[in-house]
Structures are given as structure tokens and as C-alpha cells.
Structure 1
Amino acid sequence: MTATNLLPRNRRPADGPSPGSARTKRRRRPGLMLTLGLTGLGLLVVLAVVAPWIWGDRAEELGPSVHLGSSGEHWLGTDALGRDIFARTMVATRLTLELSALATLIASTVGITLGTLIWVSGPRIRAVGLRVIDVMISYPAVILALAIAAILDPGPKACVIAIGAAGSPSFARLTANLAASVAGRDFVGSARLLGVGPLRLMRRHILPNIAEPLLVLLSVSYAHTLMALSGLSFLGLGVQLPDYDWGQLLAGGLQSLYTNPVEAVGPAVAIVLAGLSASFVGDGLAAAANRSRRADAPAKATKPAEANAAAAVGTAPAVPDDAVLVVDDLRVLRKDGTALVDGVSFHIGAAEIVGVVGESGSGKSLTAMAAARLLPGGLHATARTAELRHPDSAALDLVAPGAENAETRRRLAVEIGIVYQDPSASFNPALKLGGQLTETLRVHLKASRREAREQAIEQLDFVRLTDPASRLRQYPHELSGGMRQRAMIAAALLTRPRLIIADEPTTALDVTVQAEVLRLLRAANERDGTAMLFISHDIAVVGDLCDRVLVMYAGRLVEELTAEDVREGRARHPYTQALLAATPRLDTAAAAPAESAGGPEASAGEPASAEPVRTLAAIPGRPPQPDERPPGCAFAPRCPQVLAACHDTPPPVHSPAPGLSVLCHLEQAGARTGETGTDKPLEAAR
């Protein structure tokens, strides 16, 4: 089904649990825990403020009755000097909470700063820093605290520094891991394209989006810090006389545990209740968290595949004078030398829409991101030519190393617009839309806030987003998926770029919204004459929207053909044929009744032009991994027309007509079965 067959979108009921559903009932417990925790901590804070005024004198008053048990006058008895244990426990609340808060502040500040600096540093410093954090966190925090406290003089200062330093690795590792997950989001890539520096990138785009899990760790760390500080005071390394906290009171109570056990009850209960309150806050925040957090999977170690290079398209096609993007022999490589994109060559002319189609893992998005200089970490691109051309200025080299100067960043931000696949990841959820849409105009085109706002409203109106002025004051989560994708298209069009890269912009949307998004992209192309690189899994959509189509398989460009050839089923490569055979077509359904009504006999008298019923074909197997490509054609293990040479010999490039190319042995052998889109080539595969 192509986009032209889709109906306008209708309003759908909002999803979500009813007030009495089981899902809503399950949410009550985390809210209760958070309420209990905050209430407990609030009462402790109030007690810390008022306790010295109410019980301060009584806590220091010496009495004749020593080691007295619980009584109406002394609820928790008295100590060895006759002082009231209950009053001293209440007064010790202030110092205990203050020291715990200070140690937690040191741990969080040092850890978050360290994790941030490690992430914004270069890859070598980052690798060494992460290993150092792993070594530090492998030791228990109490052991590190004891070692630091033993080196320094015993006292509250040494105790706080020791616990703060021992707790910082946990914050550092969490910050670094969360920053790594958020750094791969689309809005971070857009910020880099705008030229945002590393420190501002962390402060503005990354830290606000990892604040929630850091806050959870902060509350849990406070509970651990309070217990660790009490433990050090209990061992005599913390608070020293005449000052006292709960840990020191607990140590004094344990000295008379067998003669007067009630002395240890007050500080012990206080430590447990304070720790539980902080833990409840952390657990409640963790249970209520609703932001998705993704961890990057570790890269699989692979071996270089030098033999794959021979199968690359060797020569770029003739490039017109008005070409906007020119790519010749593009390769995207991992650090170990494995080619994820292997020798791709193409060009995009002015006002032309070029589609790239292929299965997942074929290298479509990597090719597009290499053109925008937005490759993920650990990958780098090389090419004989990779240029973004402008009639009034020099061509911009898109793969030149060390070319991240201010002018390069400005041209990338102004001349390339990107529409990402997932609308929920297109914008920074911590910032309002207005600042994000107008940033490029204000930073690189020096537009005033008023001018940038007016242009943003104009583009939002062009993409038919209702009430565009009020949308600028909203956060991304206040918009639906289709509205966010419209806003992303508006952001890509704001600078009137020469090239738009649309990386599967309709994948995360329902079919009715997909049609609207495709119509907007076509309208933008016709209004501004913008060149477009459109990436999709759907070859039918590509054939309907684009002027030319590039088919990629296993990191290589296997065929280039016109959109008319795609619509008419005139593909030549077996892989393109398979994609067409696996695509549903509405115009073949009419043949079904004729065959089912009378069987073969009834259809014998039909005209020869009658189209038989066509069933969808599945492509057997799966594409090879980049380090497991065969020396010959990568599609050979799945191809129903495979020849002996396909397994061992790289297929040559053939150009059956100007502007067309196919990477296949069948062209040379003359063994083609016929026009593609037919079922005969895939019958053996089924």
C-alpha cells in the first residue's frame, strides 16, 4: 500500500488505564512509599531544627542517677554521667543529618563532575577514566572510607571527606553510563550539528535528561551515607567529644548493653527510621520514573574483511553540474577495520528526491549520517569524494578529518536539515519547542528572537500544525507523535537547507499520519527546490515519492533505478526483485475471484493479458554480518538465480542505461529469467 492510498487521519481515543484498572492500582504503592519517605524526612528536618531549643539544656545536664533504666522522667534512661538519653538522641539529630547531607553533597558533586568530564573528554581519556571508576567502585565504600579516615585525623571533617570520596565513584559511573545512552539520541546529534560545544552539550541537553535517575541515587546514597557516618562514629573515627551524633550515642549504649540495654534503643531506632525514610524516597522515585533509559550494547569484536572491498561500486556515475550532494566510494569503518558501508557512490541533484531502500542493517542510515557528519562514536568514514556543493561557495568536504571549525559547523547546520526516524527522540524533552526550533536561526544566522520566532511560526503553519504560536511554548511530550514529526520537519526547513536527510521519518507513525508526513516532504521539495535523501524500508513508498531509487544490501549499493522502473517492476537485481515480490499491491486483488470461481478450466478462455493471483513472497535467510560477508556476492546464499561465480567472485558493475546501474553476475552471464516483480525468480526460494 502506497501513501497515496491512505485516508486522512481520524481522531483516536487516548490510550491509558481507567481509574479503576489494575495498572492504576499498582501505581498507588510507589506513591505511598514516596509519601512515607518524604514525611519521615520532613519530620526529621523539623526535629533537627527545634530539638536543640527544646532539649538542649537537658541533654547536657548531669544527674546523680547514672545508667538509669526507662522511667517516666527519663524515657530512654540515662548514661554514665546521668544525662538523659532521649534528649541527647533528639539533639544529635541535627549534627547527624547535617554531616550526612554534606557527605552526600560531596559524593554527588564530585561523582557527577567526574562522570561528566570523562564523557566530554576524548575517547582515550574516556576509556581510561571509565576503567579507573570501575576499579574504584569494585571496593566497598566503607573500606575506602576507613582508609581515608585512618590517614586523616579522626573527627567529623575527616569522616565527611572519607564518606564523600568513597561514594563519588557510584555517581561517576552512573553519570557516564547515562550520558552514553542519552548521547545517542537524535536531539543530541542535532545539537552537535549546530556546533554546540561539549560542556554546553552536557549542561543543556544531557544532564537535564539524566537528572531523574541521579536524584534516585542521591536519595538512596543519603541513607547509605547516614549509616556509614554512624558506623565511623561508632568505631571512634567520626564525631569526637564533646560533640555527639547517633553513632557515638549508639557506641556508648552498647557499652552497657547487658546491664541497661535501653540506652542503645534511642540512637538505633533513630538511625533505622532515618535510613528507611531516605530509602523509601529513593524507591518511590525509582518506581515512579517513566522515562525510558537505553544502554548501548558493547560492540562485538570482529575481524577485518579486506575481501569485501573488491565488490564495491568502483566508479561514481556522471555527476550533473547542479548536484547538491556527491558521494564516491564512501566507506564507514569500525575501529577494527570492518566496513559497515562498503564503497557506495551516488549523487543528488537540485530539487531531486533520491530514495534509499533495503532491509535493516543494510547501511542506509549510516550512509545518511556519514553525509551529515553525525556518525556514532567508534565509526569513521572515508571516501574519494563526499561533498556538499553550493553554487556560491566552495564545496564542503564531509569526511575530511579535523574539519570541525566554526564555518564547517555553520554550513552543516544551515545547509543540511535532518528529519529523524523516531519523533519521540527528535527533541530534547527537557526544553520547550520554541528554543529548540529557533536555535539554528539565532546562533548561525544571527536572527533576533522575534525574527526567529516568526519564522518558526511560519514553518509550523506550513506543516499544518494547529495553533503554531502556542506550540512553541509547549514541551515535546505535550504533542502527539504525528505533531512532533511535523515539528521536526518544520525545524529541518527553517534554514531553507539545500539538502534534507529524511531517515525513515514515517516508521514510528501510524499509516494515516505517514501519508500526511510524506505529502509534507513532497510539498517542501516543490516549494523550496530542496534536494532530499529519503530512507525507508518500504520500496512502494520510495517508488511513489522519489525520482531515483538506490537499493542497498549488506552495506553495498546493488542497484540504482528510476522510480518509474520501481512502479512498473522493471528491476534487474534479484534482491530488488525480491523486495518488489514481497510488497503488497492493491491492483492484483481483482484477479482472485476469477480464479477461485471456475478454477483452471474457467480461466483457460481468459485473455492472455489477465493477471494471475500473486501471493506475497518471503525472502529466505537473513543478511550476513559485516565481518561474515562472502568474497563474492553477499546476496548469493539467498538468491534463487545464483550462479557458480556468485559465491567466489565479486560481481561487476553494469550500466544498462544512463543513470542506471546493477551489481550482478547475471548481467554478464545473460542468465536473467525476465522482468522483476514476477514470481518465477522467487518460486524456488519458497
Structure 2
Amino acid sequence: MAKRRGAQWLAALRTPLGGFAAALLLLVFAVAVLGPILWKDAASAVDTNAIGQGPSAQHWVGTDELGRDIFYRVLVATRLSVLLALVAMVIGVATGLVLGMLPTVLPRPLGRLLASAVNIAVAFPGLLLVLFFAVIFGVGTRGAVMAIGFALAPQFARLTQTLSASVAGRDFVLAARVAGVGRIRLLFRHVLPNIGEPLAINATIGAGGALLAFSGLSFLGIGVQAPDYDWGRLLNEGLNGIYVNPAAALAPGVAVVVAGLAFNLFGETVAGVIGVRTRLPRPAPRPVRKSTVEPAVAKDDTVLVVENLEVAFPQPSGWTVPVRGVSFTVRAGEAIGVVGESGSGKSLTGLAVSRLIEAPGSVTADRLEFAGTPVLTTPERELRPLLGTSLAMVFQDPMTSFNPARRIGKQLAEVSEQHQGLSRTQALARAVDRLRAVRIPAAQRRARQYPHEFSGGMRQRAMIGMGLMGDPRLIIADEPTTALDVTVQRQLLRLLAQTRAERDTAIILISHDIAVVSQTCERILVMYAGRIVEDLPAAGPQIRPQHPYTRALLATTLDLDTDPDAPLAVIPGRPPEPHRMPAGCAFANRCPVATDQCRTEDPELTVIVPEHRVACWHPDGAMPKAVSAVVVSGGAE
């Protein structure tokens, strides 16, 4: 365990942030330790011939009113400034931890009273609390330490209360309570180790805050008193001659900033190491499921090849696999629809193809190629230009996909600046041109507006325009028409069809509406429980599905011929959870024609006629009359 913790520290210190933070903090502590030893005499030497001088070769930041070297005085003051800040931080953290944990141990009325008192204290400005406690504890170093320490305590107490409450309801804490573990032991053995990361970050930030507070109190004359001096007293002394020698006040100010930055950056590094305790246990390596589907033969016009794609996420008990063995190909100019209920894996498939699944998620595939380039094995630096210019992703909610603080035109132009090497002016001109291409009126004016000034349909158009900033060979549209009225929905679908016709761009349209997809795309991939259960050609209203799930989805769609007095069709039951997948067909428990074979054996995706594949043991089985009247589930995403 000690070796592993040491390896984690080494790894953290090798990062640019960790190395810089450690070096900066080491420098501050080295000066704090060695400063009074090496430069105390030089800092105390009075030279009446050099009173109030400015920066020179002999005195780098000048001298004070007694001719003492200010630079050496700043170095010597480092020890007292840092030491007092650390002591105040320790007092604040210790007091805050006690106040934060006491409500858990005390009887409920007393605990609520204490929590309310902490909330009231947190509501007061920090500086006001510091001055209040400074009046109580008196002027001087000891009073300032106590004042700052107790002023920091409420925020640590509030943080401890919040974090403890978030951990107290977890299963391992409940199990410890059932086992009879006492409250005190429960806090120190089960709660505190799991809230160490944010407490460590806030403790180091608190040290930086204490440093600044001490400097403020000493600057006001109620902190460190003569003959001692810290950076705050030096700031006060330098202020008197700031118009003659600004460096006299600048030097201690820079010292405060550097020391505060060192504490904060090192806190981030410490959190990266301590936070390992709160991470999920690393599960055993995930066994990769071998596909029995015949590999797809890539043609010259093939844009995307996907074979046995799996997406998995770690859990304490192992891996959950929401996308299981997905295989398909997309040719240039082809429009493919992906449909299914919520949780079927449609969006995850699109994200995996775009290489947008981040750790700790795991993406594996026997073959995943875009434009002839392996997506999973190609280094990100080489793959980024290809994906940035040849693959466009249209997300479901463009309001969250656009940066609300930046203008639409600049966000579109960023694509060309990054991937095409255009200047800012050229990229902005291209952005305006792309906005015109997606039928946004007054594109020049609209490019200067922010996302909130666009309607929902216009934001979707702008998102498509962002995809067209490059020369996309594939557009993945993830629920682009959700929450839009039918008129805007029709306009967006026409725009995608026009883009496809003009540029020979392939389109993957992810949707829960099989009726829309059947009228827009050439092929339909029906997904259920992370798998493709049917791959069939679309023929408008004459679509002929063979899988019971696809037929059920069609039965839930509404049209002008739907009887308004009839009950809405729904699919009974719910899809299985990804980590609780049944042994046989995942749809068996909801299927009206399921047999014992369906519940014990999982069917493979099999070709039944050319261009039509289905994963079902009874693809030709008719739905029994007794069940055909049963309401079919509303599972649209």
C-alpha cells in the first residue's frame, strides 16, 4: 500500500502542474527556513546614507526610512508570514471539522442548533468575522492567529457537514451501522477517509486565504507588531513612499501572490493523490465478446465500418456494458436511421464512433474505421484533424452544445481556425457563409449574436452549419428534432437531405420516432438493450419489419388515420438494465411471441433476405390475436 501511494505521488509530481506546484512550494519553504539564517543581519542593518532610495544594484527594490534593504526584509519576513498562515489554517480546519461532525454525534435537537449556527456564521463576510474576532482576542500576533483561524472555521464546518451527509447514506456506511460500529468510529473510519479530497483542496486554499488575511490585518496595524514584521507590515511601510519608490510596496505584494499560488496549486496536486481513495475500485479486465457476425466487406465508397462495437463503464462489482456487439457500415451519401427506446445505446454508439467516450469508459471493437482510418488505434493528434473536418456531430440540445458566453459566429469560426489554418477574418467570413447555407436569415447580423438570441430551430440550423464548416463526409444527428414543432422539424430534415444530396454526405439520424426515420432514411437500425435487433431497408409507410420489437415501435406511432377514441398503444414492461441483462433474448419478457428458447438463448443478427437482418428466433411469427389488442409500451426516448 505504501509503495502504491508513493507511486501515485511520483506520478502526480511528474505532471506539469504537480511539478511546478511542488517546485514553487519548495522555494517558498526554503526561503522561509533559510531567510532569517542567511539574511537577517542584512535586513536589519541600518544605513543612514541610503534612506528612502529606489531600486539599484546594491538594493534591488530600494531601502526604507531607516536605510534597510527592503528585498532582504521581504525574504526574512517569509518565515513569520507563512508560519502564522499555516497555524491559522490548522486552527480553522480542526475547529471546522469538529463543528461539522458534531451534529452527527450529538442528539438531533442540539445537532440542528449547531448546524444553524454554522449556517449563520457562513452567511457573514469573512473579513467581517476576522475583524470581529480580532476585537475579541486583541491586537497582536496571537490575537490575529486566533481571529483568522476561527473566521475560517465556519466554511470548513459547512463543507464537512455537506460532504458527511453525502457519504452517510451510502451502502457501506449503512452496513457499518448495521454491524454496530459506533458513531465516532464510523466518522473516522468510514466518513472522513471518503471526503479527504475536497477538504485537502479547501485546506490549502484556506492557507492562501489566511496568508492574505494576515497581511491585511498587519497592514491595518492590528496584526504583527514591531519589532517583528511580516509582509503586511512591509506593505504598510512601503505605502508611505509608494509615489517615490513603488517597488517598496510591490515586493511584499508579489511575495503574498507567489506564496498563495503555491498553496493553491499544490492543493490540486494533493487532491489528485488523496482523491484516489474515493474512486471506484478498478474492476477486473473486461472480457471482450467475440462477434459471430460475418465481417463487413468495405467498398470504395464506404465511410464508416463498425464491427463488434462495445462500450463499457466500470462499477464496483464489475463492468456494465450498455452497447453490446454493434456492427454496421455506412456508405457515402447513404442515410441510416438508428431508433430505439431510452437506454437502448443509440447515443452511446454515436459518441463511440466520434471518439467522445471519455475515461473511465471503455470502447472496444474488432474494427472501427472512419474514412479508412482506425478510430481506436490512431493517436489523437493524428485523428483530430480528420474528425474535426470530415465528421460532424449535431447534438440533441444545441443550447447546451453552444458556449453561452461566446457569439455564434466566433464558435463556428473556431473550427476553421483550428483545423483549416484560416485567419480569424477568413474563418468568420466562412462562418457567415455556412449560416447562409443552412437558411439562417441576416446571417451577417446573426453571426454577432449569442446562442440565447436564437430560437430552438435556428440553433439546430447553426449546429448543422458548424458541422459544415469543414467538408463532412458523415453527419451524426442525435435527436436533432426533439422538442421542435413539426414545421421546424420538417425544415431541418429537408436541410439534412439537401446537404446529403449536394455534398454526397452520409448521415446517421438517431431518433426515437421510427416513422420520421422511415420517411427520411434508406436503412433503419433498430436497437434494443445495447444491440441491433433489426437492420432493414426503409420503404416509407410500407416498411415491413420482422422483429416483434420493431413492429411494436411502429404500433406506437400516430398518424391522421389513428382513431382518436382508441387507447394509445404502448409496449408493456421496461427494457432491462445494462448490468442485469437476461440470459436469452433481452426482449423476451416483453415479447408476445416469446418461447422458452427465447428466454435461454440469445439470437444472433442473421440475414433473412438481402439487405435485411434480424436477431429473432421467430422473425416470421405473427402476433397472437389475444395479444395484438394489448397496448404496446411507450418507450420512446
1:473 matches 2:448: yes
Specify which of 388, 400, 404 is matched with residue 380 of structure 2: 404
Q: Deviation at 1:477? A: 1.2
Q: Deviation at 1:156? A: 9.0
Match of 1:582 in 2: 556
1:313 and 1:345 in contact (8 A); partners too: no
1:645 matches 2:569: no
Match of 2:321 in 1: 339
Match of 2:166 in 1: none
1:351 and 1:526 in contact (8 A); partners too: yes
Match of 2:307 in 1: 328
Which whole-Å CA distance do the structure 2 matches of 1:509 and 1:160 have between them? 58
Match of 1:361 in 2: 343
Q: Deviation at 1:657? A: 1.6
Amino acid of the structure 1 residue aligned with 2:484: L
1:558 matches 2:520: no
Amino acid of the structure 2 residue aligned with 1:367: T
Match of 1:518 in 2: 493
> For 1:324-363, what per-residue CA distance to the aligned partner results, in whole angstroms no more than 9, with x for missing partners?
0100000001123221100000011000011100000000
Which whole-Å CA distance do the structure 2 matches of 1:302 and 1:635 have between them? 31
Match of 2:610 in 1: 658
Amino acid of the structure 1 residue aligned with 2:431: A
1:463 and 1:486 in contact (8 A); partners too: yes
2:334 and 2:522 in contact (8 A); partners too: yes
1:317 and 1:659 in contact (8 A); partners too: no
Go from structure 1 to structure 2 and tell me whether the alpha carbon gap of 1:536 and 1:320 turns closer, same or farther (over 3 Å shift): same
> Please, what is the CA RMSD of the aligned residues?
4.6
SS at match of 2:463: helix
Amino acid of the structure 1 residue aligned with 2:305: V
1:163 and 1:229 in contact (8 A); partners too: no
Which whole-Å CA distance do the structure 2 matches of 1:237 and 1:625 have between them? 63
Q: Deviation at 1:379? A: 1.1
Equivalent residue runs for 1:386-397 within 5 Å: 386-389=368-371, 395-397=372-374
Specify which of 154, 161, 166 is matched with residue 141 of structure 2: 154
Q: Deviation at 1:377? A: 3.9
SS at match of 1:340: strand
Amino acid of the structure 2 residue aligned with 1:410: P
Match of 2:459 in 1: 484
Q: Deviation at 1:239? A: 5.5
Match of 1:496 in 2: 471
Match of 2:622 in 1: 673
Amino acid of the structure 1 residue aligned with 2:352: A
Equivalent residue runs for 1:53-132 within 5 Å: none
Which whole-Å CA distance do the structure 1 matches of 2:361 and 2:595 have between them? 34
1:315 and 1:345 in contact (8 A); partners too: no
> For 1:82-116, what per-residue CA distance to the aligned partner results, in whole angstroms no more than 9, with x for missing partners?
xxxxxxxxxxxxxxxxxxxx99xx99xx9xxxxxx
Match of 2:409 in 1: 434
Amino acid of the structure 1 residue aligned with 2:303: V
TM norm structure 1: 0.52
Which whole-Å CA distance do the structure 1 matches of 2:493 and 2:450 have between them? 24
> For 1:207-234, what per-residue CA distance to the aligned partner results, in whole angstroms no more than 9, with x for missing partners?
xxxxxxxxxx9xxx9xx999x989x99x
Match of 1:420 in 2: 395
SS at match of 1:328: strand
Which whole-Å CA distance do the structure 2 matches of 1:583 and 1:163 have between them? 64
Q: Deviation at 1:170? A: 10
Amino acid of the structure 1 residue aligned with 2:536: L
Specify which of 585, 591, 595 is matched with residue 633 of structure 1: 585
Match of 2:367 in 1: 385
1:423 and 1:508 in contact (8 A); partners too: no
SS at match of 2:545: coil
Q: Deviation at 1:167? A: 9.1
SS at match of 1:617: coil
> For 1:369-402, what per-residue CA distance to the aligned partner results, in whole angstroms no more than 9, with x for missing partners?
000001144212000000001xxxxx222222x7
Q: Deviation at 1:433? A: 1.2
Match of 2:199 in 1: none
Which whole-Å CA distance do the structure 1 matches of 2:95 and 2:520 have between them? 55
Q: Deviation at 1:434? A: 1.7
Equivalent residue runs for 1:176-575 within 5 Å: 238=223, 240=225, 309=289, 314-335=293-314, 336-389=318-371, 395-400=372-377, 403-405=379-381, 407-564=382-539, 567-575=541-549
2:319 and 2:579 in contact (8 A); partners too: no
SS at match of 1:656: strand
2:98 and 2:157 in contact (8 A); partners too: no
